[in-house]
């Protein structure tokens, strides 16, 4: 498996396009996900996974290949990210291998002080929501990703998925 480096050419603009570079490579992932979302549930599934991120389009994008080992069965998914130099925003799409003909609405956002905040309006079970992705605690060997839903236009949030990444050998 090729290893992807976060090394950039000295001429690469410092405009945000390198924000995901520290995540290039292979990761072991510990998932913690609410069993039922937006239902007041407090039961969590915990499961393992593997993620491998690599760059695309000379730094204007990247892709993850994900293996998720849910208690109900293993599946694959893809995360596709693109960077717009004009707006300095990332767009992130999730493609679930259990239904690969559907691409989720992209979340958009940027990193500030080492934390990436990404959001979009979407629906969940026919209900309008706001979706947040949060990337944080990024080091050479660890990272954290969280997902939260708001059913009331951002007044309250339910964190429903937490992923802890550790660099694979």
Does residue 14 lie in a domain region? no
Question: Worst-scoring range by mean pLDDT, 9-13, 28-32, 134-138?
Answer: 9-13
Does residue 5 lie in a domain region? no
Count of domains for the chain: 1
Instruction: Output the pLDDT for position 85.
Output: 96
Domain extent, residue 118, equals: 21-167
Whether residue 139 contacts residue 27, with contact meaning beta carbons closer than 8 Å, is answered with: no
Does residue 15 lie in a domain region? no
Burial of 42: CB neighbours in 10 Å, binned 0-12, 13-18, 19+: exposed
pLDDT at 59 over 80: yes
Does residue 163 lie in a domain region? yes
CATH number at residue 31: 2.40.128.20
- Beta partners for 34? 44
Lookup result for tokens 């208690």: 71
pLDDT at 5 over 70: no
pLDDT at 160 over 50: yes
């Amino acid at each position: 498996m090729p290893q992807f480096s976060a090394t950039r050419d000295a001429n690469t603009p410092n405009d945000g396009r390198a924000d995901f570079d520290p995540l290039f490579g292979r990761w072991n992932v510990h998932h913690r996900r609410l069993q039922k979302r937006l239902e007041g549930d407090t039961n969590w599934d915990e499961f393992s996974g593997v993620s491998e991120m690599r760059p695309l389009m000379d730094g204007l994008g990247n892709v993850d290949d994900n293996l998720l080992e849910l208690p109900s069965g293993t599946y694959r998914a893809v995360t596709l990210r693109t960077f717009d130099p004009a707006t300095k925003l990332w767009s992130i799409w999730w493609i679930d291998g259990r239904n690969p003909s559907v691409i989720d609405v992209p979340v958009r956002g940027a990193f500030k002080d080492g934390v990436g905040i990404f959001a979009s309006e979407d629906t969940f079970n026919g209900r309008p929501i706001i979706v947040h992705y949060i990337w944080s605690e990024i080091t050479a060997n660890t990272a954290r990703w969280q997902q939260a839903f708001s059913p009331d236009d951002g007044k309250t949030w339910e964190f429903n998925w937490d992923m802890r990444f550790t660099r694979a050998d």
